[in-house]
Amino acid sequence: MKALRPSIKWILAAFGVLLALFILKIVLLLTAKPKITVNYVSEYNRTSRPQNYDPNKNAAPYYQNAFDAFVDMPREVRRLYTNWPTDFNESDQNTLSQWVASNEQAFEHFRDACRKPYYWLERKSGKDNSILDIMLPELNPFRELTRAILWDAKIKAIQGQFQPAFENILTCYSAGRHKCRPNLLLTDQHNGLNIKKEAVDSALVILNNTNVEDKALGFLQNALQSKLNTDDYIPSIRAEKYLLYDALQRTFIDNGKGTGRLAFNVDLEYITLGGIWTNLKHKLYYCFIGPTRNEIVEQIEQGIAMYDSIMTKTPWQTKSEGSDYLKEIQIIKEGSYFLEHIGESAKSIFYSYHKTKAQTEALITILAILRFNIAKGYLPETLNELVSMDYLKAVPSDPYSSGPLVYKRIEDNFKLYGIGKDFSDDGGVIEVVNTARKMPGFRGKTLIPQVHSPDIVYWPYKEFNKLRHEFTVEEVKRLKADREQETRKKIEEPNQAEP
């Protein structure tokens, strides 16, 4: 057997070395771990803290006192589709009143908190100092306590105590404003908008079920208008940037050049967050030829800038400019799995913000109309008439059109509505179709009202109530009667079958 020539030996040796280096590189890539170099929880706390922060002006300790003193709502009156005290039977009304009275101390602490200029909590993370695991323990207590104060407002309204009732409404609206700050996480901002919305909803319920005197109407209108005039809040997802960059540093290799790719050894929690498939083939693709760290940074910055530019516009403005911003963002999201998880939240807060703002302006307008009617004995012809006679500062604009909210006189009442997401005036008609379907916990089938409304109706409240997918008292009684009748039939049928 002939010996190999020296040149071939060197070639094979070189090939062996290259193969070994390649294998070593593969091993290093597969075993490399991301570096946690920035404490983004600390960064978030720094930027979310109000300017010129003064602990004495912070509402947080007062809210905590309220949460500590709060008594949970009794189970027997915790009903999803009931929003007025007299909708309960006499026994449950007494239970409701006693529960509200037991929370007076909590209410006082809550009112003290709402008088403070701002609310700030230093956030803490529950795991590895990750923003993804920031704890928000106050969200549920906030929701439960504001609902309790709004029940107190309704009870006071029934008793004719309209001034304190509306003070409760304004207190809750102020609590919502504390949470509506653009440098907070989207979860906080959503919480604030929901609190504002529930306060406005409760005011509409009171107006629908009681005859409020002119003085109290004027008090609520002026106070609410003042809050709206000083409210410069516009939603933002800038705080979510910290979450994205924190996820990036925990999933991508940092080689100092920005060309590192997804680490093979990544926490499953972050892989799921990014929407990356966990099968081996897909994972290897992102580890070796997927986007680099610099490319992800560019996508994050582009997405954040696009979202923030949209937040300053109304839905009508985005449509009239001829650009489908949400579609453009969707294209960016498809190229960045890091943006995927905040997409729906950002879109949701955009619409929630405009919905809540328009509903607040609608409430102020309704109050002006009711005051005009009390003083003049008739309803105004137009909303401009309210402005000219100093009952209203300005005609409210509709976020889904280039014009104002639509006002119409209907017999001895009026209709106030805005056009909806179809950008078309459909007359403010709400359709309710009762469909039978199986409900968990009930025997047989029950009728469930399915609501369809292309427009957003604010008044009459009965129509607005349907839009909120709530059962009326009559519907609840009818559904109960239907179930009882069906139960009786099932009992009678076996007896009739006997010889």
d(CA 48, CA 289): 37
Structure tokens, 38 = 């920035």
- Name the residue type at position 312: T
pLDDT tens-digit readout, 89-131: 999 999 999 999 999 999 999 999 999 999 999 998 877 788 8
d(CA 9, CA 11): 5
* Cβ–Cβ under 8 Å, residues 415 and 450: no
Residue 247: per-residue pLDDT: 84
Residue 441: per-residue pLDDT: 46
Residue 347: per-residue pLDDT: 80
d(CA 29, CA 340): 26
Residue 31: per-residue pLDDT: 58
pTM greater than 0.85 (yes/no): no
* Cβ–Cβ under 8 Å, residues 152 and 168: yes
Closest by alpha carbon to 395, among 380, 409, 410? 380
Residue 444: per-residue pLDDT: 47
Closest by alpha carbon to 39, among 246, 177, 236, 219? 246
* Cβ–Cβ under 8 Å, residues 166 and 220: yes
d(CA 325, CA 311): 11
Residue 297: per-residue pLDDT: 87
| First-to-final CA distance of the chain | 106
d(CA 487, CA 474): 20
Residue 121: per-residue pLDDT: 93
* pLDDT lower than 50: segments of the chain: 1, 268, 272-278, 438-447, 468-476, 497-499
| Per-position b or e across 200-232, b if 16+ CB within 10 A of its CB | bbbbbbbbebbebeeebbbbbbeebbebeeeee
Residue 431: per-residue pLDDT: 63
Domain ranges of the chain: 42-229, 234-394, 400-499
Work out the burial of residue 285: count CB atoms within 10 Å of its CB; fewer than 13 is exposed, 13-18 middle, 19 or more buried: middle
Q: Which residues contact 349 (CB under 8 A, 6 or more apart)?
A: 186, 189, 190, 193, 235, 237
